[in-house]
Structure 1
Amino acid sequence: MKKAIITGASGFLGGWLLQELSARGVQTIAVLREEKSCEWVKTHTPGTQTLICPQEQIQTLPDLLPDCDADVLFHLAWEGSTGAERADTTLQLKNVQHTLDTAKAAASLGCRRFVGAGTLAELDCNSYIPLDGSSPNPVSCYGTAKITAHYMSKAVCGQLGIDHLWACISNTYGAGNKTQNFVNFAVQTMLSGKPANFTSGEQMYDFVHASDVAHALFCIGESGQKNHTYYIGSTKPDQLKRFIVKIRDAVDPSIPLHLGAVPFNGVSLPASVFDCSSLCRDTGYKPRVPFETGIREAVGWLRKQKEEGNF
């Protein structure tokens, strides 16, 4: 891979991927929504080319980048991936259309590969929503939209003759993550002095440091197999309760944990879901950040955010 395009380049994962590609000497074009994001990109990855093109106008990307000759387009842009906006059906359907428009733009630009950012929520939805009598939460609209974008973009790429690859991204944590994912929720709860109330934590979970996710995305774009979906994991999934203990120890080992104080009403995915052996086998991916190391860094960053009044 000599040249790549990233949509959503100023987002949490986009920033980590920019750093990964920059470190590997890949010439990168960061597609951004607003001018103010350009300064952030140029500060963190000097030499990166920036381009303002909101997702609503992504079909104009080939006109903005004549003679682009990029190898891979990484599509990370997605509005409403956290919080109440996950239940916004209008917004989520727009994301699906934007994904399809981006895949078409990648083909028009001459990219040989399109790498889409999927989510573990797709597997949650597939496991639960089709069951008779199931009562999905409104936020399941996000996972369902990702499934739709996944399958439809795969069809579009096949029609247009470019490789389609899909990354199933698990629970990602690390500095810069401002979402309310589990790690952030747990750490913020503990830092705020609230009771550390959780489910019993018997279900299997996996947490992957953002730098490892960025590394995996590069590996997928570089050498993933055409029309494959790759789960990006840590290679060390475990019961959630064991991760909760490690999170607590990184914040303050004296904090009492109340496992089982919150009822669990989700779906317990089998351990096989968290198997990323195909990613390792096909691309040479190897995670580099143990959870014990990464969580200390994440807690330090979140603690600083709290001290600065950012949450």
Structure 2
Amino acid sequence: MKYLITGTAGFIGFHLAHLLLERGDFVVGIDNINDYYDVNLKFARLSESGIDKEKIQDHQPVSSSRFEKYTFVKMDLADKSAMMALFEKEKFDVVINLAAQAGVRYSLINPTAYIDTNVSGFVNILEACRAYPVKHLVYASSSSVYGANTSMPFSTSDNVDHPLSLYAASKKSNELMAHTYSHLFNIPTTGLRFFTVYGPWGRPDMALFLFIEAISKDEPIQVFNHGKMKRDFTYVGDIVEGIKRVADTVPAGSPEWSGDDPDPGSSYAPYKVYNIGNSNPVELMDYIGALEKALGKVAKKEMLPLQAGDVPATFADVTDLMRDTGYKPDTSVETGVAKFVEWYRAFYKK
């Protein structure tokens, strides 16, 4: 199988590419390597994948020195002509779209970035899949789409019409756009609502990274909502195993689906949405405790109110994922945090 993975200089895309390559699949990875966070970490991920930084030029394929079936291309989703040319050349079997402008809080500062990448860029992906048909399009959504919903656990059958950030709205728009193309052009699409992904090679703007940086410098960590937060923390290794299984599970449409009582997570069209989370919410203070244990150091804490656009709790119902793929993420926070700390110390020599 030949896969296109967008965002392979990113956190999840990096890990997924390795998993599929180790299985023996062909992978073409693309990324625009923007400066939303430290590009040196992005180049380090690419280097770990056998991609030489010095050979990277816009739109020029670079072969991996580590994986013979891996090619990387620096490309932006918003560049429609380049995307179309890539699809025409490569004839992908499966597309996994992980490239996105991430971050809830940053969407309050730079909303245009979310429209350019998460909306316009996704339209280009859909149009390319229409012009050069694929067996399956899998794309990243987010637990953020649940927004003002307080019914726990979050189910894909829940209404998600009340987002609390533009980031969440952009991810919900992806689900709506995907359904339109599944209906109009019979493109099998699956959206994945990720729940607080963490682990080695993670993003520097995420809580675990910010916490370990502050603790290492003997500075206080910022604890929002005065610590009264719960998150369905999900280890990246579990996430990519779930993505792999979902990519292998092509939706065909549900004959039981009814427009009289529409289920938002499925359709008569070849369309599906899954939650991927640990389905085991952890108190933020317990998460911090796991980090303190792994570091052997107690954190200084600055207690702050809930941030705009944030929610106090997340909890994934993964019943559909388990039923359809036989898989449920299950790495404990203690194990996952310890693996992150091990990587962090090795990578930053701390």
Structure 2 length as normaliser, TM-score? 0.74
Match for residue 16 of structure 2? Answer: 17
User: 1:51-95 CA distances to partner (integer Å, 9 max, x unpaired)?
Assistant: 343222244434334464432100111135476356322221112
Match for residue 112 of structure 1? Answer: 135
Distance 2:176 2:343 in 1: 36
Contact 2:234 2:278 in 1 (8 A): yes
Q: Structure 1 residue 193 and structure 2 residue 218: aligned?
A: yes
Match for residue 202 of structure 2? Answer: 177
Deviation at 1:18, TM superposition (A): 0.3
User: 1:173-194 CA distances to partner (integer Å, 9 max, x unpaired)?
Assistant: 1221133212112222222212
- Mark the runs of 5 or more structure 2 residues left unpaired by the alignment: 34-42, 54-62, 151-159, 252-269
Letter in 1 for 2:237: S
Quickly say closer, same or farther: Cα 1:228–1:130, change in 2 above 3 A: closer
Distance 1:54 1:256 in 2: 39
Match for residue 245 of structure 2? Answer: 219
User: 1:89-141 CA distances to partner (integer Å, 9 max, x unpaired)?
Assistant: 222111201101101112322202111111122223666x977xx9x5xxx22
Superposition pairs for residues 1-311 of structure 1, below 5 Å?
2-33=1-32, 38-39=51-52, 42-43=64-65, 45-66=67-88, 68-81=90-103, 84=106, 87-95=109-117, 96-124=119-147, 140-196=165-221, 198=223, 199-223=225-249, 225=251, 226-252=270-296, 254-255=297-298, 258=301, 261-264=303-306, 266-269=310-313, 273-287=315-329, 289-307=331-349
- Mark the runs of 5 or more structure 1 residues left unpaired by the alignment: none
User: 1:193-219 CA distances to partner (integer Å, 9 max, x unpaired)?
Assistant: 123552443433111121211111111
Distance 1:244 1:149 in 2: 33
Please tell me the root mean square deviation across aligned C-alpha atoms, in Å.
3.0
Distance 1:46 1:86 in 2: 42
Contact 1:87 1:142 in 2 (8 A): no
Letter in 2 for 1:177: G
Structure 1 length as normaliser, TM-score? 0.82
Quickly say closer, same or farther: Cα 1:76–1:256, change in 2 above 3 A: closer
Distance 1:31 1:256 in 2: 38
Deviation at 1:262, TM superposition (A): 2.6
Deviation at 1:163, TM superposition (A): 0.8
Deviation at 1:166, TM superposition (A): 0.3
Distance 1:159 1:43 in 2: 41
SS in 1 for 2:279: coil
Contact 1:68 1:109 in 2 (8 A): no
SS in 2 for 1:165: strand
Deviation at 1:10, TM superposition (A): 1.8
Distance 1:224 1:31 in 2: 23
Letter in 1 for 2:205: Q
Contact 1:80 1:86 in 2 (8 A): no
Distance 1:149 1:174 in 2: 25
Deviation at 1:257, TM superposition (A): 6.1
Distance 2:316 2:250 in 1: 18
SS in 1 for 2:303: coil
Contact 1:208 1:233 in 2 (8 A): yes
Distance 2:68 2:30 in 1: 15
SS in 1 for 2:28: strand
Distance 1:50 1:256 in 2: 40
Letter in 2 for 1:204: K
Match for residue 56 of structure 2? Answer: none
Quickly say closer, same or farther: Cα 1:243–1:159, change in 2 above 3 A: same
Distance 2:28 2:231 in 1: 34
